[in-house]
């Protein structure tokens, strides 16, 4: 499998792993988002700070459903990838 297909498969797998925990495999609840942040994005956000987690969830939840669907999750991953690319040292 190509590197890009591995990346897509991993992204799908991470979403499924956390979204499946409370019964709805199509969205991430607040506890699932918190667990994903704690385990997959250590250091990105302080998941022990409930106000920060609430604010982050509100920003992710573009459709105001109270959960993070797959499209909103993909947006998060894309934004993080762009941020990493931005801070990557440029070759001369």
- Percent of the chain scoring above 90 in pLDDT: 40
- For the cut 80, the answer to whether the pLDDT of residue 9 exceeds it is yes
Give the pair of three-digit tokens for residue 5. Answer: 């297909």
Instruction: Write the pLDDT tens digit of every residue in 28-56.
Output: 998 898 888 888 888 766 667 778 778 87
Residue 55 belongs to a domain with what CATH number? 1.10.238.10
92 occurs within a structural domain: no
- State how far the Cα of 76 lies from the Cα of 59, in Å rounded to an integer: 10
32, 19 contact by CB (below 8 A): yes
- State how far the Cα of 40 lies from the Cα of 11, in Å rounded to an integer: 11
65 occurs within a structural domain: yes
11 occurs within a structural domain: yes
| C-alpha gyration radius of the chain | 14
Please state the pTM of the whole predicted model.
0.81
49 occurs within a structural domain: yes
Q: In the predicted model, what is the mean pLDDT of the chain?
A: 86
For the chain, the domain total comes to 1
36 occurs within a structural domain: yes
User: Which range marks the domain in which residue 16 is found?
Assistant: 3-87
- Percent of the chain scoring above 70 in pLDDT: 89
Instruction: Write the pLDDT tens digit of every residue in 51-90.
Output: 877 887 888 889 999 899 999 999 988 988 888 888 767 6
């Amino acid at each position: 499998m190509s590197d890009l297909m591995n990346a897509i498969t991993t992204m799908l797998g991470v979403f499924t792993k956390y979204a499946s925990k409370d019964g709805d495999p199509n969205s991430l609840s607040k506890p699932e988002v918190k667990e994903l942040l704690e385990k997959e994005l250590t250091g990105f956000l302080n998941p022990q700070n409930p106000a920060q987690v609430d604010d982050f969830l509100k920003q992710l939840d573009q459709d105001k459903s109270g959960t993070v669907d797959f499209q909103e999750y993909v947006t998060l991953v894309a934004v993080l990838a762009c941020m990493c690319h931005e801070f990557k040292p440029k070759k001369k």
